[in-house]
Amino acid sequence: MINTNKAVEVINQYIDIPGGLLECLHGIQSVFGFVPKETIDDIADGFNISRAEVHGVISYYHDFKTSPRGKKVVRICQAEACQSMGSRDLTRRVEEILGVKIDETRIDGAVSLETVYCFGNCALSPNVEIDGKLHARVTSDNFEKLVKGEEA
């Protein structure tokens, strides 16, 4: 159940900021983990725009999710510098290890595997972020340890 009162509280922090919709959506996402559809009416009201416009912004940006993410979120860079250091093979191995395809959430909700185009750490490729913590020079061997929370 989405607490829409909580959502309104968040929305009200941003409605007076010029162009504050993106900041608001980040705010909503940090509270709920995604942007629940139940909040869209209140966002539209708050910013005095249509629901379609809110939907348009949410669906445009890769960062905004419309369904809950996995308990663990693994993000793996798919851009050129990481490609040059084997990110394509690494991604296939990570998919096997986690039992989930890239850009999907595992059916039990335990883990999401997401694409990122560049963490800006391209001298230490390939890069993988696990629950917000960035790891560099990741191999499939040390990934297994990292994802279990052990030091590689």
Binding residues vs other proteins (CB under 8 A): 18-26, 47, 53, 56-57, 60-64, 77, 79-85, 116-125, 127, 132, 134-137
3-state secondary structure of 50: coil
Q: Are 77 and 119 in contact (CB under 8 A)?
A: yes
| Residue closer to other proteins, measured from CB, 108 or 141 | 141
Residue partners of 79: CB distance under 8 A and separation at least 6: 116, 117, 118, 122
Q: Are 125 and 85 in contact (CB under 8 A)?
A: yes
What is the closest distance, in whole angstroms, from the C-beta atom of residue 72 to other proteins in the complex? 18
The token pair at 39 is 């909040």
| Residue closer to other proteins, measured from CB, 3 or 84 | 84
What is the closest distance, in whole angstroms, from the C-beta atom of residue 91 to other proteins in the complex? 13
| Residue closer to other proteins, measured from CB, 97 or 116 | 116
